[in-house]
Structure 1
Amino acid sequence: MDHHIGSRALRTSIAAAAAIALSGAAHAGQTAAPCDGDAFQTILSPAAATFDARAAWLDRRTLLWPGTRTGARIRLYHAAQATLTAPRGGKVAGADGFLPLDTVTAPVPVQLAEPWRYLGDGMQLAVRDADAAAIGALHRGQLLLVNEAEDGTVLDATRIQAAGALDDLYAAAESVPDLGATPRGRTTVFKLWAPTAQAVAVCTYDKGNGPLRAAVPMRFDAATGIWSTTVSANLDGKYYRYAVDVLAPSVGVVRNLVTDPYAVSLTTDSRRAYIADLASPRLKPAGWDRDAAPAKVKAQPDMSIYELHVRDFSIGDATVSAANRGKYLAFTEAGSNGMKHLRALAGAGLTDLHLLPVYDFGSVPEQGCVTQRPAGAPDSDEQQRMVGHSKATDCYNWGYDPYHYNAPEGSYSTDPADGAKRVLEFRKMVMALHRAGLRVGMDVVYNHTYRAGQDEKSVLDRVVPGYYHRLDAKGAIESSTCGECGNTATEHRMMGKLMIDSAALWARQYHIDSFRFDLMGHQPRATMEALQRRVDRDTGRHVNLIGEGWNFGEVADGKRFVQASQLSLNGSGIGTFSDRGRDAVRGGGAGDAGRDMVTRQGYVNGLVYDPNGSAEHTADEILKAADMVRVGLAGTLRGYAFETRTGDVRALRDVDYAGQPAGYASAPGEVVNYVENHDNQTLYDLNVLRLPATTSTADRARVQMLAAAINAFSQGVAYFHAGFDILRSKSLDRNSFDSGDWFNRLDWTYQDNYFGTGLPPAADNGKDYEMLKPLLANPALKPAPADIAFARDAFRDLLKIRASSTLFRLRTADDVKQRLRFYNTSPAQVPTLLAGRLDGNGYAGANFKTVLYLINVDNADRTIVIPEEQNKRLRLHPVHTSPTAADRRVREAHYDASTGRFTVPARTAVVFVE
């Protein structure tokens, strides 16, 4: 009886849904054309009630409902509109019908259940064979799982997280190659994956801000969930949006006027998507088809990277034309101070320039933004107050707030209203950097979107509500990666496809050479490996992948899948940033605040040997830090072994790092070594906090270069933040993502590092103002131009040394095991002196029989005897003895061949070669 009633109502519902889909007609009695007006959303049928989503579809027929009682009557109610109500203790109302469900007693296959185990244990239910064919259509309306008493009284009710069913029902969509708008010959094809939509139309426009050209209904393909239409005109250079009628659970059935998740360009502020054939000559700068990256990277450890923000690069550079400052085209002005700086770095051996986000992001007005130029005392709060007043309208943000993944950001274009300009200008930037001798990397943020739900600046969730984002056990969107952002679910087929398709597009169409993945640990390892295969296949070259492999949030410790995280990626060839060497070198950790910023001195800034008087440290702390620095120098390799401070020989996997193995990589290319990037304070600012206040600015510059030397000599990828080499300061700002140009400036004239330009923004720094004010007011802490020039030139010398020999860039773990040896490691070591020997015998590109580096971080000369190095023909590296060598102190380093005695001057890194 139950099944008969449910099926009869179901047939009516399917017929109605099919009619809506095929006709593309206005929904629920609406008479307006689907593209009329400019409202981002029209509510067609308000939700009669809202529900949590505490159950999940495991596949198209199997459901999991955690916490339910057995023995009650469970039904799947459905309604084409958002009319369902199910008050606890009352009766279900507003249903078109229901499906009875069977209890699953046999174990569900592990691969089916594993992605949903975070929900907890519960009843597993199944749709009956007779109803299986109807499920796809029912997902286009409202579905509610209800636990009832025999008399129909509602005991519990929940929505159902639909991703498992949609991934199963529409798996064929994963192989569709041309989602988005594709102009071909005399036609334009539009394809949008929207399997839960009730109707879709494409709205086309001749201009980015002009009237509607046409509204064309689209047809639904039940095999893929894709809506498509072919327009009998080549619309290359026109604009479009979609009108999507879809059930948004929190609102009801809505008509969303929304851009395309696959848009390749946009008009101002991303209001309309741009139709473009990216292979068209009109979108190619002269010589684009011949553009190629310099052949500097034969293996991933060859990479040395400079991380740079597009706007930071040129906004303060008076040698760039005013129209191009802060824009892509600034990189095309070869005679500017900034480009001279980049060419000098490339000439010294830098291989890659990594750009902070350059996809379309949502936080900056693309036209009419303001730029603050405040003034005030070094310790004044007036500067940050002025910056704060215009945060919502200023021109600055790092850009970790993705809006459209496949389109260049418009605020960096000279004309964001023209969808072609940003494509052309981005390509011109890439060509200019390639010609300057640098490969181009891109920082990508596929782990979250700027907005989710039914917000006007949400795209994915307004096309397929509840699918593209990762949900918690109640169906709310997770936000662990960014407080106001929605975490994406790249474990779902079509979100994973979007990420892979997007990276392939950038690599193929924009000649991107490498990618840095923000919070990559929130992606599945399998998806990252699939992405690697795809970008390599599409480009016919190896595209280098690195990312943040931090393990946290709702996916931590493999709760939902095997992550692309530090401990889970070994053997993949994908590199992750290492916090091991970073924290040992600079002290403390990324989250330090308050007095910890002062007390937690590190290996280069005085731990034990040069105390700042803020805390007591034990002798073992400097020994432990030295061991952790050696972990980084050895590439953080799991199997590499050395004598630790205790006298024991241990593999790095057995050296403790905050409860984790210090060594986690299987190959040198799987680790990225760094001491500073865009996040947190710059190293110069941290050293203001951690070095004794009496430390001279000349010594502060030397300390910065000690950190650079450790990074340059470490096996793996070397990563540096732009301005690191010129003592960049952000006036002690710990989080400058939205601090405006004022706190993010770079000076390519090398006269100022911008320390002491006001108290940093109060939101992230205000609680520490009393500690920061006297530091900012102290002129003795601000470097002179001579200090900046020393750091600039010493940094380039270190790049030259790294580039001079593959011994600093060993290819395999076995190479490191066989060729790297540390001296001065016993319990009786000189703890402030690191000594590493690299054996070059028979190694391609070694250029030396032996390389021996010594790094003395102490503020006094230090001497060690290495008997194994007696009677060798060691001499200073040619870079050290060059007439242009920046660090003259290094020439005071002494090697006594008769005894194997080495003396290294204070705060000096020196390389001997044989």
Structure 2
Amino acid sequence: MKKSCAWLDDTNKIRVEFTEIPDQTTINPVIKNKQRNFEIESTEWNEKVVTIILKQSVDCEEDMMLYWQDMELQIHPRGIVRTVAFEKKYDASDTKLGAQYGRRKTSFSIWAPTATNMVLVLNEKAHIMYKETKGVWTVTVRGNYHLARYYFLATVNGEKQKINDPYAKGMTANSEEGVVLDLRRTDPEGFRTHTYAPVSKADAIIYELHVRDATSSVESGISKSHRGKFLGLTELNTTNPAGYSTGLSYISELGCTHVQFLPLQDFARADELNPSESYNWGYDPLQYFVPEGSFATDATDLVLRVKECKEMIHAFHKEGLSVILDVVFNHVYDFENSNFEKVLPGYFFRYQTDGTVSDATGTGNDLATERRMVRKFILECVDYWLKEYRVDGFRFDLMGVIDIQTMLAIQDRCNQEDRPILLLGEGWELDTPLLPEQKSSMAQSDHLQGISFFNDSFRDAIKGTLFDQLNTGYVNGNGAYIEKLPQLVAGSSDERFGDRLFSNPFQSVNYVECHDNHTLWDRFVLSNPTTSDKDKQYMHQLATGLTLLSQGIPFIHAGQEFFRTKNGDENSYLSGDQINQLDWSQRGREDQNVQWIRRLIQFRKASHLFQIGNVVEMEHRLHIIHSPNPVFGFLLAGADEDLVVFINPTNDEIQIEMPALGRWEKSLSNHSQVVTEISCLLDSCVVIQGYELAVLKKERR
């Protein structure tokens, strides 16, 4: 049965929650500690709840008791931990937390201002911790504790419970206990000394991949023990049974510059001891500083998950590919049982005015990124993955829930690196209790000009609005939304074409498919049920072609280039390998389309005209061509050559007048497999085939 309880909700406010309505005519409550009684200014009743206002301010560390009739209640801190006074007094932003390993001694620190007792349990032996300033508990233990297991026993609000270190760098299987690591012993050979060519934001082409999906298929050609693991993506020259490239070699050949991994940090709902029995995308974060154990070849080996994650990143770097980490700093899995809530109840999460936990993320909680110690945690985590794992970028899940100040601090930290660090995220406007101008949403993009945003306007105009599965877009709806295309191919940043979303085109991440929702192919199955498979493939080519030839940062979902399907599963985050694994046999069957995507990528890389970084230059170079509706065309005017792109979203041949006379060479067409120039046009008109995307080039002489 729930007991009556008393909470300190502000520096002078106590709320008492009774199990039954008490007699309010009896003597007033008494509040005191060992040294003094506290004077009461007022009491206000609301059925079983009484709010008591004190005449003086108190601290959350006061050992206060409330006496009411024959009832005696300990007063525990609650809402006070979210006050400005608390933030100021217990700001330990400059203090190192977690386990600081040394060969002769290891120091342990945890921030828990309201805890009344703290014990470190190291290799099953208890060590009393001591409370220092700003709410930090510490202890140093002599000896070499590499691979030692540890956790904390904390007494918070009168209850003793086990807490894993939020800053732990290693974990036992299924996140049971933290592990002390000598991180120097986890580096693969050459990991720190290997150099690789930096990739700027202007050159970025992103390929989104899930570690397990990439190699779990028996047709991947990957060693059986490495399928679905970090090490599966270190193997080179793998092929499917038909001899077509797979895995890392395939990704390298495709030509994208960055691989964006779905979450690699330790997550829930994947049994690390029996990984084949469960599946998860990874958006259930547990331990942010630790790689996921189900991706290791042996989760019981306390070093392997760290070492093998580094080996995978190292393998991508050696292939000239940059690595982006998908990070989930907007919520945690099961917040009530999270380390954050255990160590300091009520602090790490955002609350509504009625005292309920905010749930804009739809996961049961929103992290309060605007609080100093939450921001410290996030910044140190970003710093750690930059330095320890050498990642090259971060993709922020539901970034609109994160406050702007935190995102700007992350950007400042990343700018200190000697290589470009790509930052991008989902800037959706969500109902979290921050002021609109505090959210890192697309509406605030002018204040976050170094950060890129997923452009849902691009997605919806090309294939149809996300939340209406029967709605069709430009490529699959005979030119629907054509009026939006000028702005979209301009990176949604050119005021000539109406309201802009961004200050510069590199803020726009252009995509038509990602891990969320239906794959592009599955969407076409729903929205265009009577269209032939061949025409759906053409539509698919137009959509991906527009993604790769528009200004901004192109983003491709793994398998999109060979018409990936998830058999209609719209939300496959728990759906298992049969739905989620990359079908490497289909990669072979659709090699013709794979080669088309490769040519598009090579063509984009070869011309600065697809990488315009500012609006002034765009106004000079990008021009929309007047074409017969619904064909869309645009001209890119260069110093040495002009490029024209035409897209025909119908099944009819359409004749189009070229924007200028001269010798135009058709360089690319999804209707041709020729790599060299396809044809030469001396006439003033060109015929665009049904469902054709064509690129023509004219040299300036």
**Which residue in the other structure is 2:145 paired with?**
235
Residues 302 and 904 of structure 1, relative CA distance in 2, 3 Å threshold: same
The equivalent position to 2:409 in structure 1, one of 530, 536, 543, is 530
Residues 87 and 346 of structure 1, relative CA distance in 2, 3 Å threshold: farther
Query: What pairs up with 1:836-847 in 2 under 5 angstroms?
Result: 836-841=634-639
**Which residue in the other structure is 1:850 paired with?**
642
The 1-side partners of 2:307 and 2:648 are apart by: 49
The Cα offsets for residues 261-309 of structure 1, whole Å up to 9 and x where unpaired, read as 101110000000111132x1x21111111234433x22x2321111011
The 1-side partners of 2:329 and 2:424 are apart by: 13
Aligned 8 A contact 2:101 2:107 in 1? yes
Residues 260 and 909 of structure 1, relative CA distance in 2, 3 Å threshold: same
What number of residue pairs does the alignment pair up? 672
Residues 84 and 750 of structure 1, relative CA distance in 2, 3 Å threshold: closer
Instruction: Please say if 1:800 is aligned against 2:602.
Output: yes
The 1-side partners of 2:300 and 2:359 are apart by: 32
Letter in 2 for 1:246: V
**Which residue in the other structure is 1:732 paired with?**
568
The Cα offsets for residues 664-695 of structure 1, whole Å up to 9 and x where unpaired, read as 111112111100000000000111112252x3
SS at match of 1:337: coil
Instruction: Please say if 1:175 is aligned against 2:94.
Output: yes
Letter in 2 for 1:740: G
Q: CA deviation at 1:87?
A: 4.8
**Which residue in the other structure is 1:49 paired with?**
4
Letter in 2 for 1:627: E
Q: CA deviation at 1:818?
A: 2.1
Instruction: Please say if 1:89 is aligned against 2:24.
Output: yes
**Which residue in the other structure is 2:343 paired with?**
463
Letter in 1 for 2:428: W
**Which residue in the other structure is 1:873 paired with?**
663
Instruction: Please say if 1:287 is aligned against 2:287.
Output: no
Query: What pairs up with 1:809-828 in 2 under 5 angstroms?
Result: 809-824=611-626
The equivalent position to 2:368 in structure 1, one of 472, 489, 514, is 489
The 1-side partners of 2:376 and 2:358 are apart by: 20
**Which residue in the other structure is 1:570 paired with?**
446
The 2-side partners of 1:348 and 1:512 are apart by: 21
Aligned 8 A contact 2:261 2:326 in 1? yes
Instruction: Please say if 1:335 is aligned against 2:241.
Output: no
Letter in 1 for 2:193: R
**Which residue in the other structure is 2:425 paired with?**
547
**Which residue in the other structure is 2:285 paired with?**
402
The equivalent position to 1:271 in structure 2, one of 167, 176, 184, is 176
Q: CA deviation at 1:174?
A: 1.0
Letter in 2 for 1:689: L
Q: CA deviation at 1:585?
A: 0.5
Aligned 8 A contact 1:726 1:792 in 2? yes
**Which residue in the other structure is 2:207 paired with?**
306
Residues 891 and 414 of structure 1, relative CA distance in 2, 3 Å threshold: closer
SS at match of 1:404: strand
The 2-side partners of 1:673 and 1:237 are apart by: 44
Letter in 2 for 1:137: E
Residues 246 and 47 of structure 1, relative CA distance in 2, 3 Å threshold: farther
**Which residue in the other structure is 2:591 paired with?**
789
**Which residue in the other structure is 2:111 paired with?**
193
Residues 84 and 739 of structure 1, relative CA distance in 2, 3 Å threshold: closer
Instruction: Please say if 1:641 is aligned against 2:496.
Output: yes
Letter in 2 for 1:723: G
Aligned 8 A contact 1:896 1:902 in 2? yes
TM-score for both structures, normalised by structure 2: 0.89
Residues 293 and 189 of structure 1, relative CA distance in 2, 3 Å threshold: same
Aligned 8 A contact 1:85 1:93 in 2? no
Instruction: Please say if 1:861 is aligned against 2:653.
Output: yes
The 2-side partners of 1:443 and 1:126 are apart by: 47
The 2-side partners of 1:311 and 1:501 are apart by: 27
Instruction: Please say if 1:903 is aligned against 2:687.
Output: yes
The 2-side partners of 1:160 and 1:84 are apart by: 20
Q: CA deviation at 1:310?
A: 0.7
The 1-side partners of 2:19 and 2:128 are apart by: 28
Query: What pairs up with 1:554-593 in 2 under 5 angstroms?
Result: 554-555=432-433, 558-559=435-436, 562-572=438-448, 573-589=450-466, 591-592=467-468
Letter in 1 for 2:601: L
Instruction: Please say if 1:137 is aligned against 2:55.
Output: no
Q: Identity of aligned pairs, percent?
A: 30
**Which residue in the other structure is 1:659 paired with?**
none
The 1-side partners of 2:65 and 2:300 are apart by: 42
Instruction: Please say if 1:668 is aligned against 2:573.
Output: no
The 2-side partners of 1:905 and 1:187 are apart by: 72
Aligned 8 A contact 1:84 1:92 in 2? no
Residues 707 and 101 of structure 1, relative CA distance in 2, 3 Å threshold: farther
The 2-side partners of 1:316 and 1:506 are apart by: 29
Residues 348 and 746 of structure 1, relative CA distance in 2, 3 Å threshold: closer
Q: CA deviation at 1:158?
A: 11
**Which residue in the other structure is 1:320 paired with?**
222
The Cα offsets for residues 383-410 of structure 1, whole Å up to 9 and x where unpaired, read as xxxxxxxxxxx32111100001111000
Residues 47 and 464 of structure 1, relative CA distance in 2, 3 Å threshold: farther
The 1-side partners of 2:543 and 2:65 are apart by: 58
**Which residue in the other structure is 2:46 paired with?**
none
The Cα offsets for residues 199-252 of structure 1, whole Å up to 9 and x where unpaired, read as 1111111xxxxxx1x211111123x211111111231221110111101xxxxx
Q: CA deviation at 1:744?
A: 1.0
Instruction: Please say if 1:887 is aligned against 2:689.
Output: no
The 2-side partners of 1:839 and 1:51 are apart by: 71
**Which residue in the other structure is 1:601 paired with?**
472
Q: CA deviation at 1:256?
A: 1.4
The Cα offsets for residues 111-149 of structure 1, whole Å up to 9 and x where unpaired, read as xxxxxxxxxxxx998974xx5xx51523xx6799x9x9x
The Cα offsets for residues 412-471 of structure 1, whole Å up to 9 and x where unpaired, read as 011112221111000000011112221111110010000112x3xx21101111111111
The 1-side partners of 2:362 and 2:98 are apart by: 28
Letter in 2 for 1:746: L
The 2-side partners of 1:562 and 1:288 are apart by: 39
SS at match of 1:629: helix
Query: What pairs up with 1:365-444 in 2 under 5 angstroms?
Result: 365-370=271-276, 394-444=277-327
**Which residue in the other structure is 1:7 paired with?**
none
Aligned 8 A contact 1:305 1:351 in 2? yes
The 2-side partners of 1:890 and 1:292 are apart by: 32
Q: CA deviation at 1:801?
A: 1.3
Instruction: Please say if 1:690 is aligned against 2:527.
Output: yes
Aligned 8 A contact 2:129 2:138 in 1? yes
Instruction: Please say if 1:451 is aligned against 2:334.
Output: yes
Residues 632 and 513 of structure 1, relative CA distance in 2, 3 Å threshold: same
**Structure 1: unaligned runs, 5 residues or longer:** 1-45, 62-74, 104-122, 149-156, 206-211, 248-252, 371-393, 610-621, 643-651, 654-662, 752-784, 842-847
SS at match of 2:636: strand
**Which residue in the other structure is 2:72 paired with?**
none
The 2-side partners of 1:571 and 1:876 are apart by: 41
**Which residue in the other structure is 1:35 paired with?**
none
Letter in 2 for 1:873: R
The 2-side partners of 1:420 and 1:127 are apart by: 56
SS at match of 2:517: coil
The 2-side partners of 1:796 and 1:86 are apart by: 72
Letter in 2 for 1:855: I
Residues 127 and 562 of structure 1, relative CA distance in 2, 3 Å threshold: farther
SS at match of 1:858: coil
The 1-side partners of 2:285 and 2:40 are apart by: 40
The Cα offsets for residues 765-803 of structure 1, whole Å up to 9 and x where unpaired, read as xxxxxxxxxxxxxxxxxxxx65x2222111111111111
SS at match of 1:414: coil
The Cα offsets for residues 157-216 of structure 1, whole Å up to 9 and x where unpaired, read as 996352223311122x1122x2100112411011111111111111111xxxxxx1x211
